[in-house]
Amino acid sequence: MEMNLTINLGDYILFPEASDTLKKLYLQGDVLTYHPKIVAGIFDFQPANAQDDPGWVWAFDDHAEVIADNVPKDDQKMFGCLMCRIGKTVSYMKVAPDFEGFRYAQLGLSGNGNQDWLATGHFSKNDLFQKPMPQALQPSVKLLPDNIIGRQRPVVYSNLLRKASRQRLVHLCRPIASAPGSVEFIMETWAKQQGSVEALFTFLDSLPSDFVNQHAKDSLRVAKAATAMSDDSLSTAYVSLDYPSKLRIYKEGFYGANVRFNMAFSSPVVLSLTKGDVLFISESATYEEIKFPAIYDMAVFLITRWLEAKEVTVLFSAGGSKRVRNNIDDRLARLATKYGITNWPGIIVGGVDNDGKQFQSNYGTAVTCYAKPPAENFDESSGATASIAGLAMRAQAYARSRGRFLRPMELKQLLRSAGQQVSILENNVGYSASLPNWTLIQKAIDQLNFSTSTL
Per DSSP, the residues of 361-422 read: S-BSTT--EEE--SBTTB-HHHHHHHHHHHHHHHHHHHHHHHTSPPPHHHHHHHHHHSEEEE
Tell me how far CA of residue 132 lies from CA of 61, 118, 129, 188, 453, in angstroms.
20, 21, 8, 15, 52
Q: Please indicate whether residue 377 or residue 299 has the higher confidence score (pLDDT).
A: 299
Confirm if 77 and 68 have CB atoms less than 8 A apart.
no
For 200-256, write each residue's pLDDT tens digit: 899 899 999 989 989 999 999 999 999 999 999 999 999 999 888 887 777 777 667
Spatial distance between the Cα atoms of 448 and 413, rounded to a whole number of angstroms: 12
Taking residue 423's Cβ as centre, other Cβ atoms within 10 Å add up to: 10
Confirm if 10 and 107 have CB atoms less than 8 A apart.
yes
Taking residue 92's Cβ as centre, other Cβ atoms within 10 Å add up to: 16
Confirm if 309 and 353 have CB atoms less than 8 A apart.
no
CA nearest neighbour of 415 among 397, 432, 395: 395
Residue 258, pLDDT score: 81
User: Mean pLDDT of all residues in the chain?
Assistant: 80
For 417-430, write each residue's pLDDT tens digit: 999 999 999 999 99
Residues 6+ apart with CB under 8 A from 397: 167, 227, 229, 233, 234, 276
Exposed, middle or buried, 446 (CB in 10 Å: 0-12/13-18/19+)? exposed
pLDDT at residue 351 greater than cutoff 80: yes
pTM: 0.84
Percent of the chain with pLDDT over 90: 53
Please, which pLDDT band fits residue 318 given cuts at 50, 70 and 90? very high
Q: Strand pairing of 82-85 and 12-14?
A: antiparallel
Residue 303's φ and ψ, nearest 5 degrees, are: -75, -35
Q: What one-character DSSP code corresponds to residue 46?
A: P
Spatial distance between the Cα atoms of 86 and 88, rounded to a whole number of angstroms: 6
Please, which pLDDT band fits residue 366 given cuts at 50, 70 and 90? very high
Amino acid in position 56: W
Residue 161, pLDDT score: 41
For 91-146, write each residue's pLDDT tens digit: 666 665 554 433 333 334 444 333 332 222 222 233 323 333 333 333 333 332 33
Spatial distance between the Cα atoms of 426 and 244, rounded to a whole number of angstroms: 40
Spatial distance between the Cα atoms of 44 and 37, rounded to a whole number of angstroms: 10
Q: Is 218 helix (H, G, I), strand (E, B) or coil?
A: helix
Residue 452, pLDDT score: 54
The residue extents of the domains of the chain are 7-104, 135-446
CA angle 245, 251, 254 (to 5 degrees): 60
Spatial distance between the Cα atoms of 282 and 34, rounded to a whole number of angstroms: 33
Q: Which of 113-122, 328-337, 340-349 has the lowest mean pLDDT?
A: 113-122
Q: What is the mean pLDDT of residues 257-272?
A: 92
Spatial distance between the Cα atoms of 95 and 13, rounded to a whole number of angstroms: 10
Spatial distance between the Cα atoms of 373 and 381, rounded to a whole number of angstroms: 9
Taking residue 390's Cβ as centre, other Cβ atoms within 10 Å add up to: 26
Amino acid in position 51: Q
Q: Please indicate whether residue 51 or residue 391 has the higher confidence score (pLDDT).
A: 391
CATH number corresponding to 135-446: 3.40.50.200
For 265-307, write each residue's pLDDT tens digit: 999 999 999 999 999 998 888 888 889 999 988 899 999 999 9
